[in-house]
Each structure stands twice: as C-alpha cells, then as structure tokens.
Chain A
Amino acid sequence: AQTVTQSQPEMSVQEAETVTLSCTYDTSESDYYLFWYKQPPSRQMILVIRQEAYKQQNATENRFSVNFQKAAKSFSLKISDSQLGDAAMYFCAYRRGLTGANSKLTFGKGITLSVRP
C-alpha cells in the first residue's frame, strides 16, 4: 500500500522569507501523481501544485515550486516570498492513477505552517 509521510508537524517562517516543507512517500509504481494541498482554517482544501512522476522537470506555480526526487521518493514544497495568507495546513498527497480506485488521494498527516509578520 502507498504511504505518505510528513514528519514535521509544524513550521514557522518570517514574512517574505522562503520555507521548504518536506514529504516522502512509498510506492512500487513507476507512474503516479503527487500533490500539495493547502487547507486554511475553516476553509476548503485547495490544490497548490501537482507533479507527474514521469516528468523530470520540477513543477512551479508562481511562488510555489517542488523538488521532486523520484529515486529518493521525496517531494518537497518550497514557498518563496512567504505571505501572511500562506498560513495554513499543508498536505502532501499521492495518486496512483487517473481512473477508478487509482484516482483516490492518499494524504500525509499534514504540516501546520505559520507566517510571522
């Protein structure tokens, strides 16, 4: 079974600084999808960034980028120029495929990010 591990329960960053959130996963598959989701307090979970395992290039979305190390099964999220609105719980998630039961998300335990003004 696939597992996703986020070992840091909490992190803090100064506004405008850069922070990296760590995630490791375990799978025997060669093709899969990885995600970072953001869950603000009392708000719905939203997608931050996705990475397809077959793509060597790391995904980027504005201030958010990932460091995908397939061999090491590592998938970290870097947030640059941190803003107060980035404060939230962040979840790393794995999806085995696109169809049927393969499309479900397996989540890590999450990390609470606080941003200091």
Chain B
Amino acid sequence: EAEVAQSPRYKITEKSQAVAFWCDPISGHATLYWYRQILGQGPELLVQFQDESVVDDSQLPKDRFSAERLKGVDSTLKIQPAELGDSAMYLCASSPEDREDTEAFFGQGTRLTVV
C-alpha cells in the first residue's frame, strides 16, 4: 500500500542551526501539506502546495521557514535558524485530485527537538 514517506523520523539540533525535512507524497497526489504538531496539540497547517505552486503559506514563519516542491513531487521544509520553540512533530500529508471522497494521507512525521 502506498504511503507518504518522511525523513528523518527524528532530528535533534542545536538552536541557531539549520534543519531540513523531506517528504515524498503518494505517487500522483497533486496536493501536499506540511503541518506542525506541538506536543499535546492538534496539527496546524504551515504550507500547502498544489503541484509546485504554493496555495497557502499564511501560517508559515517566513523569516525562518521555507518550503519548496520544485518538480511538483517531493518537498523539503527548512528551518534556519532553529529556535527552541520549533520543537514539534512535522507532518506531511498528500491528497489526490479534489473529490468529495478523497482524503489526506499522512506520513509518520519528523520529530524535531531543538536544544
């Protein structure tokens, strides 16, 4: 069964360092989402792509976060410099064409700890 792949699963970094996360969505899924889930909270959208175009990045802290999906397939989320408050689970999700019966499929996430 196809899955959303994310790497790394875990990342520990020192504050002020740069960190990057990678996501490979399910093949053929045009929409890709990056969510941030702080411990004990629900996920919150950081950025949404439709193919290679950004649809919504209103909640992305653009002074330190960047995201790209250059060929409309896999995606990278970068943080530079990392801050202690960035410690969270970063979830990637993808969904196929917009239909009522489609759903978002989530990866296992990358757990980031900033020390």
Docked CA distance A105–B53 (Å): 19
Interface residues on A, range: 20 to 34
Bound-complex Cα distance A33 to B4 (A): 23
In the bound assembly, the distance between CA atoms of A50 and B104 in angstroms comes to 11
- Given the known interface contacts A98-B99, A100-B50, the answer about A91 and B91 at a Cβ–Cβ threshold of 8 Å is no
| Minimal beta-carbon separation of A103 from chain B (angstroms) | 6
Known A-B contacts A44-B109, A91-B42; the reply to A98 vs B48 at CB < 8 A is no
CB-defined contacts of A105 to chain B, threshold 8 Å = 33, 35, 43, 45, 104
CB of B55 within 8 A of chain A? yes
* B4 in contact with A44 (CB, 8 Å): yes
The reply to whether B98 and A98 form a contact with Cβ atoms under 8 Å apart is yes
B106 within 8 Å of A (CB atoms): yes
Q: What's the count of A-B pairs with C-beta under 8 Å? A: 60
Other-chain contact of B56, A33, A93, A98, A101 (Cβ < 8 Å) = A101
CB distance from B101 to the nearest CB of A (A): 8
B-chain residues with CB within 8 Å of residue A52 when the two chains form the complex: 100
Say yes or no for B87: interface residue by CB 8 A criterion: no
Q: Choose from A33, A46, A98, A107 the contact partner of B42 (Cβ within 8 Å).
A: A107
- Which residues on B sit within 8 Å (CB–CB) of A46? 106
* B61 is an interface residue with CB less than 8 A from chain A: no
Contacts beyond the supplied A37-B106, A42-B108: 20 A-B pairs with Cβ under 8 Å: A4-B42, A6-B42, A35-B103, A44-B3, A44-B107, A45-B43, A45-B91, A45-B93, A46-B106, A47-B103, A50-B103, A52-B100, A93-B42, A98-B102, A99-B98, A100-B56, A104-B56, A105-B33, A105-B45, A110-B42
**A to B CB contacts below 8 Å, 30 in the list:** A6-B42, A35-B103, A37-B106, A42-B108, A44-B3, A44-B107, A44-B108, A44-B109, A45-B91, A46-B106, A47-B104, A91-B42, A93-B42, A98-B99, A98-B102, A99-B98, A100-B50, A101-B48, A103-B31, A103-B48, A105-B33, A105-B43, A105-B45, A105-B104, A107-B42, A107-B43, A107-B44, A109-B42, A110-B40, A110-B42
